[in-house]
Amino acid sequence: MEDKPKTLPASLRPKKRYIIFQVISEKPIDYIELVGAIWRTFLDFLGEMKTSEMNFWLIKNLYDQKNQRGVIRCSPDQVEYARAALALIDQIGETKAIIKINTVTGTIRSAKKKYLGFTDLTDFEK
């Protein structure tokens, strides 16, 4: 019989915050260029130590390349550092661009539903 490791209960897991952002640029921005620009800015502005404490991640399947909106996950006590670092971005690849922070939320469900326009089939129940 296989013993699977038990998952940690929600009360013991580290908390997360989700930053919903929009890229405003002259040309469409590719996901890979965006990730590179964000990592470079975070490392230049905050350094390796603070960037590792942030535990941030750009969620790939929630980046909408058409509308240039996306979600970044980070720890709750580091949100202001993330907002400051994102405000410093003025160029992504060869394109002039800025990142506008729309909001910060505590769950990915509310980020999808309220701010990214995802709908769930349970919305259509009577």
Residue spans per domain, the chain: 22-118
In angstroms, the CA 16 to CA 73 distance is 7
Residue 125 reports pLDDT greater than 80: no
CA-nearest of 107, 125, 119, 124 to 20 is 107
pTM across the whole model: 0.83
The CATH superfamily of 22-118 is Ribonuclease P, Pop5 subunit (3.30.70.3250)
pLDDT in tens, 18-63: 999 999 999 999 999 999 999 999 999 999 999 999 988 998 888 8
In angstroms, the CA 48 to CA 96 distance is 26
Whether residue 102 contacts residue 117, with contact meaning beta carbons closer than 8 Å, is answered with: no
Whether residue 43 contacts residue 126, with contact meaning beta carbons closer than 8 Å, is answered with: no
Residue 121 reports pLDDT greater than 90: no
User: In 29-94, at which residue ranges do the beta strands (DSSP E only) sit?
Assistant: 57-58, 69-74, 91-92
